[in-house]
């Protein structure tokens, strides 16, 4: 399902996805339509703009995933702001692309998200990884669950754009194990205070990892 309040953009995304072999089972122009139509058509993947008439893309993400936890949400937004990226991930989105992404990048992201991968526009992943790092830092003992060494290792690879399949091959683990590591860490991230998290992320910058 494609959700965007700009008809030309929405139609273009729908055409590109169908040309790539996907079945677009629904479209919506605002949050209310998105929630109503999601229940009727039950898409496997929702390609969703954040800045849509209420309810917002973040609220739509939370709502549809409550209805169907197996669905995947790929955010396709004009915004690359730190607060927007973190809010979308905390709501349960497993992908975030900015609208400057190419058609090929969009199609690849939809395929990967459908498989259960977590996909970010390069650079934005560093923001999320930065918060994962903070959670895994024993010095930041503020009652939050800590990340394991394996979770941190996997998430560094995710932030560099590697697919779950590539990570599984590199670490000699199953695709399911990699997916579980990422989902466990996303759940840990979602437990954190959003305002404090966003302030910290802005102070740290997107990605200072030069590995």
Reduce the secondary structure of 56-90 to three states and give it as a string. Answer: CHHHHHHHHHHHCCCCEEEEEECCCCHHHHHHHHH
**Mean pLDDT, range 73-88, rounded to an integer:** 85
Same domain, 114 and 147: no
- Residue 34, burial from CB neighbour count under 10 angstroms (0-12, 13-18, 19+): buried
CATH code, domain carrying 131: 1.10.10.10
- Specify if 209 maps to a domain: no
State the pTM of this model. 0.69
- Which residue, 104, 120, 136, sits at the end of a domain? 120
Q: What is the pLDDT of residue 127?
A: 66
Give the domain range for residue 27: 2-120
Contact 48, 60 (CB under 8 A): yes
CATH number for the domain spanning 110: value is 3.40.50.2300
The answer to whether residue 210 sits within a structural domain is no
The pLDDT assigned to 90 comes to 80
Q: How far apart are CA 187 and CA 104, in angstroms?
A: 30
- The upper half-sphere exposure of residue 157, i.e. CA atoms within 13 Å in the direction of its Cβ, equals 20
Whether 110 and 186 map to the same domain: the answer is no
The reply to whether 128 falls in a domain is yes
Sign of the Cα torsion 45, 150, 83, 163 reads negative
Separation CA 160–CA 44 (nearest Å): 25
Q: Give the count of alpha carbons within 13 A of 38, CB side only.
A: 28
**C-beta atoms surrounding 77 within 10 Å:** 21
The pLDDT of residue 190 is 56
Helix (H) or strand (E) holding 188: helix 175-190
Residues 146-166: what's their mean pLDDT? 76
Q: How far apart are CA 196 and CA 4, in angstroms?
A: 30
pLDDT digits (tens, 9 = 90+) for 38-73: 999 999 999 999 999 989 999 999 999 999 989 999
Count the domains in the chain. 2
For residue 152, being part of any structural domain is answered with yes
Q: Are 83 and 57 in contact (CB under 8 A)?
A: no
Residues 52 and 33 grouped into a single domain = yes
Same domain, 9 and 67: yes
Distances (CA, A) of 2 to 21, 27, 211: 15, 5, 36
108 and 160 assigned to the same domain: no
């Amino acid at each position: 399902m494609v959700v965007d309040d700009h008809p030309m953009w929405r139609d273009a995304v729908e055409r590109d996805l169908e040309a790539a072999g996907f079945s677009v089972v629904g479209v919506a122009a605002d949050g209310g339509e998105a929630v109503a139509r999601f229940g009727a058509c039950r898409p496997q993947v929702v390609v969703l703009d954040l800045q849509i008439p209420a309810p917002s893309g973040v609220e739509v993400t939370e709502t549809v995933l409550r209805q169907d936890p197996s669905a995947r949400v790929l955010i396709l937004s004009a915004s690359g702001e730190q607060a927007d990226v973190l809010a979308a991930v905390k709501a349960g989105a497993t992908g975030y692309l900015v609208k400057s992404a190419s058609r090929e990048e969009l199609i690849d992201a939809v395929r990967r998200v459908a498989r259960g991968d977590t996909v970010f526009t390069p650079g934005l992943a560093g923001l999320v990884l930065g918060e994962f790092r903070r959670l895994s830092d024993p010095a930041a003992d503020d009652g939050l669950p800590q990340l394991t060494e394996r979770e941190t290792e996997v998430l560094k690879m995710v932030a560099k754009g590697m697919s779950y399949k590539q990570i599984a091959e590199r670490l000699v683990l199953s695709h399911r194990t990699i997916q579980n590591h990422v989902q466990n860490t996303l759940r840990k991230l979602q437990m954190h205070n959003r305002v404090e998290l966003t302030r910290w992320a802005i102070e740290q910058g997107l990605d200072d990892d030069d590995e």
